[in-house]
A and B are shown apart, each in its own frame.
Chain A
C-alpha cells in the first residue's frame, strides 16, 4: 500500500474538485474493486436473468458466483498479507525488478491450488463437465484478480485500472446475458468469466508494462511464511471472519440446499451484500487519507527516530500521527454515519429498488450498521499492520472470527428477528477492543519503537 501514496499525493495536489474526485474514485476501485464489481454484476445479471434462466438455474448461477468470490478470497488470503509485505519490502529496498518474478510464482501456486480445489468442489455440485470446467476457470480467474490487486497498487496508471474495471464489468454483464440467452447456465458463467478475464488481463498488462524483470519466476517470497507466519494467519482469518456468519447460515436449518455441496441462504446474503456497498465511499476516503496525510506523518515519525531528532520532536511527531488518525476517524464517522442513517431511513425504498423481500428489511438495517462497524474495525487492523503490531492485529482478527461464529450461532437459537445482530455484536466487541489496543499501542509508540530493537552484539 505504501507505493501508492506518493502518486495519490500528486493527484490530490491539483486540489481541484475533479482531482479530488478522481483520487477517491481510484481509491475506491483499488480498495474494493473486485467486491464492488461482483456485487453489481450479480445484481444486474439477476435483473436480466429472469426471462432467460429458470429459477433453479439462476439460483445455481448466483450461488456459484458467491462461492467463487468467497472461497477464492479466503484461500488467496493465505498469501495476500505475506505478498503485500514482500512487495512493500522490495519496493523499499529499491528492487522493483523482483515484483514480476514474485507475481508469476504466486500465480503458478494459485493456479495449481485453485484448480484442484475448484475442480474437486464443483464436481460435487454438478457432474456436468462444462459446468465444472467453466466454474473452475472462473474460480482461477477471480483468484488471479485478487493476486493482481496486491501488485496493482505499485503501478501508476490509474486510468488503465479504471478503464479495465469498467470495460470488464460491462463485458461481464453483456457477455453473460448474451451467452446466457443462447447457451443457458454454462453460457452465463462463460460470459461472466470472459469479462472478469478482461479485467485481469488489463491489470496484468498494466503491471507488466511498468516493471522490468531479470528472471521470470522467483519463489523467494515463500520464505516470508517462515519469517512472518502471523501475516499468513491474519490474511486467512480476516477474510474468513467476514464470511463466517454467512457460512453458518448457509448450513443452518434456515439454509437452502441448491444442489450437491451448494448450500445458501439468499435472504441473509443479499441483504448483507447490499448493505456492504455502503462502505465503499468510506473505504476510498480512508485510503486517500492514509496514503496522503497519514503516510506523511507516519514517515516523518520514523525519519525523526532514525534522523537523530530529540525526544520532544519524536513525541510531537507521534502526536501528529494520533491527531491525524483521529481527524480521519471523525471524517469517517461523519460520512459513514450519514450514509448509514440515510440507508436505514430509506431502507424501505432501497429494498424496493433492489427487489429484495420484505423480510430482509430488518437484516438490511442491521447489515448497514454492521458494515459501519466492520469498516472501522478493518481499518484499525490495517493501521496496526502499518505499525508492525502484527501480533495484536492477528489477535483482533481472531477475536472477530470467534465472536462472529459464537454470536451467529446464538442468533440461530433466537430466530429470524435476531439475524444479523450476531455479526453486528461481534464487530462491535472487536472494534471496542481494537480501539483500546490501538490507543494503548499508539500512545506508547516511541517506547515500542525503541524498546523492540534487539541489542546488537558488539565487536571487541
Chain B
C-alpha cells in the first residue's frame, strides 16, 4: 500500500468518509482515470471521523494516509537544540509580515516546522518560553489591547492544527492535487516544497469565502463588547484572526500551485481576489455521465396551454423556493392549466417547508403544485416541459446539465455558473445558443416573465432544447472533462 503514487489527492473532511458533491466527484475522478496511481492524504478533525468509509476505494488507490488536526499527542521531548532563537525570530518576522498579507518568507521558514527538523515543534510553540516570547512579541508589535487570555487560546488553537498539518507524513508522489485550499492547500504547498512535486488545485467552492461566512456567524469566537448599539461594520479581532489565517493558507497554496482550476468564472474572480495569479487559472467544469440520459428534442404546439414546470432541489431557504412559488402564481394568471412539481427532500428544514406549503395554499395553488419529496428525477424529466431554479447561491448546479441533457430548457437565477451553463462561456460555446434564461435573484416577476417567454414561443423553446443537448454532450461530458485532468496529470508526470 505504500508504493510511490503518481497523484496524491489532498482532501479535507470529505472523501471517502463523508457523502457529498465533492466526495462523489473525487470518487468518479479516481474511477475514470484507471491508469493513474492515486494516493490519498486525508485531513480530518479527529479520529471519530474514520468510523466508516462511504465509498469503496478503487483499485488504483495505492496509499491512504490521514492526519487528525485536532487530536494531539504532544511529545514533551525537551532535548536541547543548540539555539532556536534564530528560527523563532524568523518565524516571528514571517507572522508579522503575514498579518499584513505578505507571505514571501514562508519558503524560508517552513522547514523549521517539519518533523524531521523539529526545530520549531508543537511542544515549544504551546508550552515553552520560545512560544511565549513569540506571541508576546507579536502582541506588543501590533500594540494590541485585546483580551490576552483569548489571544492566547486562539493562538494555541490556530497553531495546533497548522503544525499537525505541516508535520503530516505525506505520501511520495509526482503530483500533489489539492481539492480545496485551507489546511489541504497548506499541506499541498508543504508537500510540494518538501518532495519537489508539482502542485495542482481544484476548487469546487471557494474555501476561504465559505469559512468567512461560517466565522462571521460563529458564536464560539469571543467578540469584544462595544458600547455602540448599532451593528458593527467590521468583525471582531478574533474573527478577523481566523479569516486572515484561512486566507493566508489559501495564498500560500495559490503561490505554489502550477495550475489553479475551478468550475466556473465567478469563482475565478474570488480566487484572484484571494491572491491567485491569473496566469495559472483555468476552468474545468463538472460534467455528467451521459449514459443514463436519453436526449429528446422538444417542441411545443403554439396553441398548447397545459405545461408541467419542475423545480429540482432541497426545500431549504438557500434554494429560495418561495420566490419560485410566487413566480408560479404570476404564471397561473396567464397559463391557468400549468402543473408544478417541486422535487427534492422536504425534511431538511421543516419549518421552511411548512412555510412554503402555507404560501402555496394562501396563493391558491394547492391543486396545481405538488411537493413530491425525493424522486428519481430522470424519470420525471421526460414529461416536464421546463425546469426552474431560483437559488440564492449555487456553484455549478448539475440540475441544469441534467435537464439540458434531456432537452429541457431551464430558467435559473443568476448565481454561480448558471449563466455560463445556459448562455455558454467561451465564444464557441456561446455560438451554440442559449439553452434557457437567466433571471435576477429573488425576483418572482422576472422568473415568471422568463417562464412565459420560453413557454409562449415554440421556436425559442425548440432552439433552447437543441442548444442544451448540444452543449451538454459537447462540453459537459464527464469523461471528456476527466480526460482533461488526465492531460494535466500527464503534463506534470513526464
Which residues of A does B touch, CB under 8 Å? 305-306, 308-312, 314, 444, 447, 450-452, 455, 458, 460
Contact = CB atoms under 8 A, between A and B. Distances in A.
B51 interface: no
B150 A308 contact: yes
Contacts of A311: 136, 139-140, 144, 148, 151
Interface stretch (B88-96, B127-135, B370-378): B127-135
A455 B144 contact: no
Contacts of A455: 72, 74, 126, 156, 160
A-B pairs with lowest CB-CB distance, top 9: A308-B147, A460-B45, A311-B148, A447-B132, A310-B145, A451-B127, A458-B70, A311-B139, A450-B152
A309 B152 CA distance: 12
Given A447-B132, A451-B128, A309 B148 contact: yes
A300 B49 CA distance: 43
Contacts of A308: 147-150, 222
17 contacts: A308-B149, A308-B150, A309-B148, A310-B147, A311-B139, A311-B140, A314-B148, A444-B129, A450-B149, A451-B127, A455-B72, A455-B126, A458-B46, A458-B157, A460-B46, A460-B49, A460-B70
Contacts of A314: 148
A450 B147 contact: no
A361 to B, nearest CB: 51
A307 to B, nearest CB: 8
A451 B148 contact: no
B363 interface: no
Contacts of B126: 451, 455
Contacts of A447: 129, 132
Contacts of B53: none
Contacts of A458: 46, 70, 157
Contacts of B139: 311
Nearest to B148: A311
B283 interface: no
B48 interface: yes
B358 interface: no
B165 to A, nearest CB: 15
Contacts of B136: 311
A229 B431 CA distance: 83
B488 interface: no
A115 to B, nearest CB: 46
A311 B146 CA distance: 8
A305 B152 CA distance: 11
Contact of B148 (A310, A444, A452, A460): A310
Contacts of B72: 455
Interface of B: 45-46, 48-49, 70, 72, 74, 126-129, 131-132, 136, 139-140, 144-152, 156-157, 160, 222
B194 to A, nearest CB: 27
A314 B127 CA distance: 19
Given A310-B147, A311-B148, A451 B48 contact: no
B145 A312 contact: yes
B453 to A, nearest CB: 49
Contacts of B156: 455
A311 B143 CA distance: 10
Contacts of A452: 127
Contacts of B140: 311
A311 B144 CA distance: 8
Contacts of A305: 148-149
A312 B151 CA distance: 13
B203 to A, nearest CB: 24
B70 A450 contact: no
B14 to A, nearest CB: 15
A444 B127 CA distance: 13
Contact of B132 (A306, A450, A460): A450
A301 to B, nearest CB: 12
B438 to A, nearest CB: 40
A134 B148 CA distance: 61
A368 to B, nearest CB: 41
Nearest to A314: B148
A121 B152 CA distance: 57
A306 B127 contact: no
A309 B148 CA distance: 6
Contacts of B46: 458, 460
Contacts of B129: 444, 447, 451
Nearest to B129: A447
A459 to B, nearest CB: 9
Contacts of B222: 308
B146 A310 contact: yes
Nearest to B68: A460
Nearest to B49: A460
Given A455-B160, A460-B46, 14 more contacts: A305-B149, A306-B149, A308-B147, A308-B222, A309-B149, A310-B145, A310-B147, A310-B148, A444-B129, A447-B129, A451-B126, A455-B156, A458-B46, A460-B45
B122 to A, nearest CB: 9
Contacts of B151: 311
Q: Which of B46, B149, B222 is packed against the most chain A CB atoms within 10 Å? A: B149
Nearest to B160: A455
A452 B126 CA distance: 9
A448 to B, nearest CB: 9
Contacts of A460: 45-46, 48-49, 70
A305 B153 CA distance: 12
B67 to A, nearest CB: 14
Contacts of B128: 451
A447 B156 CA distance: 14
Nearest to A452: B127
B397 to A, nearest CB: 30
Given A455-B72, A458-B157, A309 B132 contact: no
A308 B146 CA distance: 8
A444 B152 CA distance: 16
B150 A310 contact: no
A447 B148 CA distance: 12
B236 to A, nearest CB: 12
Nearest to B152: A450
B213 to A, nearest CB: 19
Contacts of B45: 460
A447 B133 CA distance: 9
A156 to B, nearest CB: 34
B12 to A, nearest CB: 14
Q: Which of B131, B146, B148, B156 is packed against the most chain A CB atoms within 10 Å? A: B148
Nearest to B132: A447
Given A455-B74, A460-B70, A310 B144 contact: yes
A89 B72 CA distance: 30
Nearest to B71: A457
Contacts of B152: 450
Nearest to B47: A460
Nearest to A450: B152
A310 B150 CA distance: 10
Contacts of B160: 455
A308 B139 CA distance: 14
B385 to A, nearest CB: 46
A452 B128 CA distance: 9
A308 B147 CA distance: 4
Contacts of A451: 126-129, 131-132
Contacts of A306: 149
A310 to B, nearest CB: 5
A295 to B, nearest CB: 22
Contacts of A444: 129
A451 B74 CA distance: 14
Contacts of A312: 145
A413 B200 CA distance: 81
A410 B144 CA distance: 57
Contacts of B150: 308
Contacts of B49: 460
Nearest to A444: B129
B48 to A, nearest CB: 7
A382 B150 CA distance: 31
Contacts of A450: 132, 149, 152
